[in-house]
A = this chain, B = another copy of it.
Amino acid sequence: MMITTTDPSTGILTDTDIEATDDSQVATIAQTSDAAFRVLREHPRAWRAGLLRALAAGLEANRAELVAIARTETGLVTARLEGELTRSVTQLSMFADVVDEGSYLEATIDHAAQTPMGPGPDMRRMLVPIGPIAVFGSSNFPFAFSVPGGDTASALAAGNSVILKAHGSHPLTSRLAFDALNTAATAYGAPAGTLGIVYGQRAGATLVADPRVAAVGFTGSLATGRILLDIIEKREQPIPFYGELSSLNPLVVTPGAAAARAEAIAEGLFASVNGSAGQLCTKPGIAFVPAGPEGDGLVATIAALGHGAAPQPLLNSRILDAFSDIHGHLLDAPGVREIVASATGAEGFSVGAAVLEVDAADVTPAIAEEAFGPLIVLVRYRDFDEVARALTAVPNSLTATIHAEDDETDAIATLTDLFRDAVGRLVFNGYPTGVRVSWAQHHGGPWPATNSLHTSVGMTAVRRFLRPLAWQNAPQSALPIELQDSEAGIPRRVDGKLYLAS
């Protein structure tokens, strides 16, 4: 079966020269990946850091072609794609630094000692890689959450091999990115199978069921996530599934913030909703705005921005259809007022921004459905009790955002308390989109935002693809270098005390 590709700007579908990967090909790829894993993990950390930097350089060397092909397959604008590729490149090189620094291994040594339970043996522990990792690319980030994305970078950094499932919305971009990475890996001396790629939905399912696959990284819809989880539950050996699934990302503007900077907030919020045609997992989909004049001004500014914004193509027809459906449901919900109607009639999969308004008292689960696209529901509230009540209808999210003035300390405390159990990241006086790649980042949240206690963005993302292994009374020769008696050049905990690398 031939894989197709569509230009979202025109809606025209064409065949590619890529064949869907069949079951026996998936098995061969998994086999090769498993063999590569066994070679990869024998290499020292410095080698692996070098591999990650070589991959970063390989992407950079193909920048122009990658951005051009992604432009055609996603309809995303060039500046966004340039930035996203920079993100992928930077991410690879930051994970190289993580590997060099070595804290992520959690290297720990307890020397033999007398304990309250009698003589304790010498114990040493560190984290080790787990095997081939299946990475499912997302539709909305052709680079940063797809073939050359954070899951790939963190799985490789941990010492694993990676098998990519190319997203059906950008197969040519996926192949080009894969070729760029794979060529760089080969030139660096990495074993064949360090990276693999499969195409087609069936191949993705076959991959998740393959006994050699040790974990799955997934960014996508709740529905597809559930299908993959069902496959995992049927495996003889269950494996971790790290799914980033669905998120409404509520935002609250306090009365003080609305009074002080309604226009700035309106502009920032609208940019966060409308950028990349609203197709970001951290897009604020629901914003609480005070009732009354300051709130009215904020709404009016957003309305003006919405009316003035040009339609943008969505990534594919499924996303367009889902957007239209959910937009329709939201308009039908009791109490909802249409502030900006999504412009229609443009070519391809284009839609304009949509702005809806509802009173807090009318917020129900029907209003808290994620519309993947440039749509926001503005909720007008009179007090934080109304916000609290309305939030009971809002599912858990990746993020929540609070706009408040510094002197509104009670409001800040109340809202922080409302949100902290429901999200993975609390944003103050900013916007949740534009997720910084750094050590302190966390991209995750209670179900249905994710199904994990781990992050898929930031330096600690490597933890998902590692497991602890302990050595008891091992001879030095049987220990990894990081656990041998000699100074390992990494932070280690020895007899309970943390030591920095000297």
Contact = CB atoms under 8 A, between A and B. Distances in A.
Interface of A: 83, 86-87, 89-90, 97, 101, 103, 106, 108-110, 115-118, 120-121, 123-125, 128, 130-131, 233, 237-238, 240, 406, 409, 412-413, 416, 420-421, 423-430, 432, 434, 436-442, 444, 446-448, 451, 453-455, 458-460, 466-475, 477-478, 491, 493, 496, 498, 500
Q: Which of A130, A426, A447 has the most CB of B within 10 A?
A: A426
Contacts of A406: 475
B124 A440 contact: yes
Nearest to A427: B472
Nearest to A490: B498
Contacts of A453: 130, 240, 466-468
Contact of A117 (B83, B454, B498): B83
A473 B412 CA distance: 13
Nearest to A442: B470
A46 B123 CA distance: 28
A406 B475 CA distance: 8
A428 B472 contact: yes
A131 B396 CA distance: 15
Given A115-B436, A439-B493, 15 more contacts: A97-B496, A103-B498, A110-B440, A117-B437, A131-B421, A240-B453, A416-B478, A424-B470, A425-B470, A425-B472, A426-B471, A438-B496, A441-B470, A444-B468, A453-B467
A436 B120 contact: yes
Contacts of A124: 440
Contacts of A439: 108, 110, 123, 125, 493, 496
A468 B440 CA distance: 10
Nearest to A87: B117
Contacts of A117: 83, 86-87, 90, 434, 436-437
A86 B118 CA distance: 10
Contacts of A475: 406, 412, 428
Given A117-B87, A125-B442, A475-B412, A420 B469 contact: yes
B110 A424 contact: no
Contacts of A470: 424-426, 440-442
14 contacts: A83-B118, A101-B498, A117-B437, A121-B436, A123-B440, A125-B439, A125-B441, A130-B453, A412-B478, A425-B469, A432-B472, A453-B468, A455-B468, A460-B468
Q: Which 5 A-B pairs have the closest CB atoms?
A: A442-B470, A123-B440, A125-B440, A108-B440, A110-B438
Contacts of A412: 475, 477-478
Nearest to A459: B496
Contacts of A469: 420, 423-426, 442
Identical chains in the assembly: 2
Q: Which of A110, A459, A491 has the most CB of B within 10 A?
A: A110
A115 B93 CA distance: 13
A362 to B, nearest CB: 24
Contacts of A128: 420
A412 B79 CA distance: 56
B116 A86 contact: yes
Nearest to A426: B471
Contacts of A436: 110, 115, 117, 120-121, 123, 472
A498 B496 contact: no
A436 B110 CA distance: 10
Nearest to A412: B478
Q: Which of A118, A424, A440, A446 has the most CB of B within 10 A?
A: A440
Nearest to A425: B470
Given A108-B439, A238-B451, A436-B110, A430 B125 contact: no
B466 A426 contact: no
A22 to B, nearest CB: 28
Contact of A468 (B427, B442, B447): B442
Contacts of A116: 86-87, 89-90
A240 B447 CA distance: 11
Contact of A233 (B233, B441, B460): B233
Nearest to A464: B453
Contacts of A441: 110, 123, 125, 470
Contacts of A108: 439-440
A237 B123 CA distance: 37
A428 B473 contact: yes
Given A438-B110, A478-B413, A424 B468 contact: yes
Contacts of A424: 467-470
Contacts of A115: 90, 436-438
